[in-house]
């Protein structure tokens, strides 16, 4: 009995130790340095009215940087073997140098990443697979426990005043949905936290992140914006080598138009996205047998077409109301199969006129289609391309692929420096004949970028509750803490019979200079 009680306490204790270790590790490395610019925690939704990081002058040059340190504690779902509970730290240092002028801007940014003390036994045979991000980082870096590297994160020039347009060339980050910054603060926050990076992002929560090598053109169309983007994605995300390119192309175009009246504000975006994965020898992740997938060496060539609309109503005495809808359909080729898929998100929110806590409540529904028949010629699973999934899955064990998500959230701001957020999610698979998908897109040459686990003929995936706190200690330094608890349902119980429940906690520090 004593041994059973000790084992029952082990995993929660590991998560608690993660928080303690993170506080010591992060705060010891990063003491607050007043006056070094504006900080914003990566775990906290960006403030729409926050200033950009201060740039420091060195002659004609502008110099800026950031340093993020995080310690993660995972109590992954427990199968019959492997290490599912562990703690590991990682950091990402970024330093940029550049110039801005009326006609031409340029920037070169270097990054140095470190992922340490990874668990050795957190990757086991299917169907359990990699037991959380610790196992993924370990496998992606040649089964190395301690990994350090440096690479060029961004290197671009931007030509301004091309009529009403501007052209960026080189290596840079891109975030779909952020082409036009709304003037209304609530609308801007919705764009950043509920629309942006659903299909294209830098995977900012990961230890290494990603960039894009290509071109981006913005054209001012009255108060609106037309954007065209074409690039190849870089390596990175889970592997420390973020320097090289992948044989993956992405093309994107969007028309964004502001709407609204004196007491309301809105935004309409229409977009099209092309994705081509030339890595024909990489095994695709879908619900076919391994034999059928191995025989399929056709390219993935997918077109995604959709749009979104957001609106905020300022009623005065009743507070603010907001809503948005986002939707997309997909066509093209999934190797030998025909791609036919779609996704939809709808959400409503309310900010009551309470000045002390400034509450913001919202509720929504997210749907990504799944494939109902693994033997036909159609691939019906929505493909999320190259997103930052953690924005919408804060305990990141799922994404929009073959997923239904009924969710609610509460944001509180009891102090100008403190932001609190809590979410509830009820998750199930869209199709019981498809897989439970994880991941956020291609990140290394011989790995597909998404993984899938069998459903066992079930749809119920999990319920999730979480809470986070982000504190801006100075203009340059912030601290974020997070805890999420997962109650696994039938899908997880069929894969992880010992314990389908899980926990995730971290402490993160951010310094911007």
Residue 264, domain extent: 10-512
What's the pLDDT score for residue 53?
A: 60
Answer whether residue 103 is part of any domain: yes
- Alpha-carbon distance of 442 to 259, in angstroms, equals 36
- Alpha-carbon distance of 490 to 458, in angstroms, equals 6
- Alpha-carbon distance of 134 to 88, in angstroms, equals 7
What phi-psi label fits residue 335: left (phi over 0), alpha (psi between -120 and 50 degrees) or beta? Answer: left
Query: Model-level pTM?
Result: 0.89
List the alpha helices (DSSP H) in 55-196. Answer: 133-140, 185-190
What's the pLDDT score for residue 32?
A: 33
Which residues of the chain have a pLDDT value below 50? Answer: 1-52
Answer whether residue 2 is part of any domain: no
Q: Could you read off the pLDDT of 465-491 as tens digits, one per residue?
A: 999 999 999 999 999 999 999 999 999
Q: Could you read off the pLDDT of 41-68 as tens digits, one per residue?
A: 333 344 333 334 667 888 889 999 999 9
Helix or strand run (H / E) with residue 494: helix 490-495
> Residue 476, Cα to own-chain centre: how many angstroms?
23
> Residue 485, Cα to own-chain centre: how many angstroms?
19
Answer whether residue 70 is part of any domain: yes
Answer whether residue 125 is part of any domain: yes
State the DSSP string of 177-196: T-SS--SSHHHHHHIIIIIT
- Whether residue 127 is preceded by a cis peptide bond, meaning omega within 30 degrees of 0, is yes
Long-range contact pairs involving 288-293 (C-beta distance under 8 Å, separation at least 24): 288/374, 289/374
- Alpha-carbon distance of 164 to 226, in angstroms, equals 10
Answer whether residue 3 is part of any domain: no
Answer whether residue 352 is part of any domain: yes
What's the pLDDT score for residue 316?
A: 85
What's the pLDDT score for residue 262?
A: 87
State the DSSP string of 13-35: HHHHHHHHHHHHHHHHH----TT
Cβ proximity of 397 and 436 under 8 Å: no
Answer whether residue 176 is part of any domain: yes
- Alpha-carbon distance of 20 to 481, in angstroms, equals 11
Count of other CB atoms within 10 angstroms of residue 50: 11
For residue 188 the two structure tokens come to 């801007």
CATH of the domain at 210: 2.40.160.100
Answer whether residue 401 is part of any domain: yes
Cβ proximity of 88 and 69 under 8 Å: no
SS (H, E, C) 361-377: EEEEEEEECCCCCCCCC
What's the pLDDT score for residue 320?
A: 97
Q: Could you read off the pLDDT of 249-291 as tens digits, one per residue?
A: 999 999 999 999 989 999 999 999 999 999 999 999 999 999 9
Q: What is the DSSP-derived secondary structure letter of residue 176?
A: T
List the alpha helices (DSSP H) in 257-299. Answer: 290-295
Query: What domain count does the chain have?
Result: 1
For residue 103 the two structure tokens come to 């006609």
């Amino acid at each position: 009995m004593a041994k059973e009680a000790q084992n029952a306490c082990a995993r929660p204790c590991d998560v608690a130790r993660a928080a303690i270790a993170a506080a010591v590790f992060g705060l010891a490395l990063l003491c607050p340095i007043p006056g070094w610019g504006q900080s914003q925690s990566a775990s906290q939704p960006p403030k729409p009215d926050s200033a950009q990081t201060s740039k420091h002058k060195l002659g004609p040059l502008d110099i800026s940087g950031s340093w993020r340190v995080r310690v993660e504690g995972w109590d992954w779902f427990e199968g019959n073997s492997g290490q599912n509970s562990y703690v590991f730290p990682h950091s990402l240092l970024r330093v940029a140098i550049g110039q801005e002028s009326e006609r031409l801007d340029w920037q070169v940014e270097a990054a140095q990443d470190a992922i340490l003390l990874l668990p050795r036994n957190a990757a086991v045979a299917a169907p359990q697979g990699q037991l959380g991000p610790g196992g993924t980082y370990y496998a992606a870096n040649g089964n190395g426990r301690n990994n350090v590297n440096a690479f060029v994160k961004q290197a671009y020039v931007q030509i301004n005043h091309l009529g009403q347009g501007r052209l960026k060339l080189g290596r840079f980050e891109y975030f779909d949905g952020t082409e036009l910054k709304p003037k209304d603060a609530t609308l801007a926050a919705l764009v950043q936290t509920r629309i942006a990076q659903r299909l294209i992002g830098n995977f900012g929560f990961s230890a290494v992140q990603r960039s894009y090598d290509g071109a981006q053109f913005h054209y001012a169309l009255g108060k609106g914006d037309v954007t065209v983007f074409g690039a190849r994605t870089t390596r990175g995300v889970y592997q420390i080598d973020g320097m090289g390119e992948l044989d993956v192309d992405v093309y994107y175009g969007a028309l964004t138009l502001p709407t609204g009246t004196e007491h309301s504000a809105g935004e309409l975006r229409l977009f099209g996205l092309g994705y081509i994965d030339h890595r024909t020898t990489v095994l695709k992740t879908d619900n076919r047998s391994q034999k059928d997938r191995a025989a399929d060496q056709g390219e993935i060539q997918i077109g995604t077409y959709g749009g979104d609309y957001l609106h905020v109503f300022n009623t005065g005495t009743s507070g603010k109301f907001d809503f948005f809808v986002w939707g997309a359909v997909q066509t093209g080729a999934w190797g030998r199969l025909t791609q036919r898929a779609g996704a939809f998100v709808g959400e409503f929110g309310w900010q009551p006129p309470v000045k002390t806590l400034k509450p913001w409540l919202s509720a929504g529904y997210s749907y990504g289609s799944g494939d109902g028949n693994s033997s036909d010629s159609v691939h019906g699973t929505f493909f999320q391309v190259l997103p930052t999934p953690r924005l919408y899955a804060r305990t990141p064990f799922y994404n929009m692929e073959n997923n239904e998500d009924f969710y609610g959230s509460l944001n509180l701001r009891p102090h100008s420096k403190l932001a609190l957020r809590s979410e509830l999610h009820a998750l199930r698979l869209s199709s019981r004949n498809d897989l439970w998908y994880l991941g956020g897109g291609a990140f290394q040459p011989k790995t597909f970028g998404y993984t899938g686990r069998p459903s066992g003929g079930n749809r119920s995936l999990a319920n999730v509750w979480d809470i986070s706190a982000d504190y801006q200690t100075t203009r340059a330094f912030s601290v974020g803490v997070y805890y999420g608890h997962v109650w696994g349902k039938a899908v997880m119980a069929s894969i992880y019979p010992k314990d389908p429940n899980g926990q995730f906690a971290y402490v993160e520090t951010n310094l911007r200079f």
